[in-house]
Amino acid sequence: MAREHLEAVVVGRYLEVLGLVGLLCLLAHLRQALDAASGDRRAATVFWATGLPAAATLAAGGVHTTKH
């Protein structure tokens, strides 16, 4: 049973990393779209500056899933 659990954990981690990379790509695309649509560089920078720590928080939350 331990081997199946390990495989599930590894697959889950890969999916988590893939989702995080996808989120960062989406944030980068939306930042560029916001900058192009409004021409307001500050709004795009604020969007990126709030989105990046949010993604980092999601990534850090996935690290603390060990059983005590």
Domain locations in the chain as residue ranges:
16-60
Q: Which residue has the tokens 């988590």?
A: 16
Q: pLDDT band for position 1 (50/70/90)?
A: low
Tokens of 63: 């690290």
CB-CB contact of 34 with 44 (8 Å): yes
Amino acid identity at 56: A
pLDDT, position 59: 81
Q: CA-CA distance, 11 to 28, in Å (whole number)?
A: 26
8-64 tens-digit pLDDT: 888 888 998 899 999 999 999 999 998 888 888 888 889 889 998 888 888 887 555
List % helix, strand, coil for the chain (3-state, nearest 5). Answer: 90, 0, 10
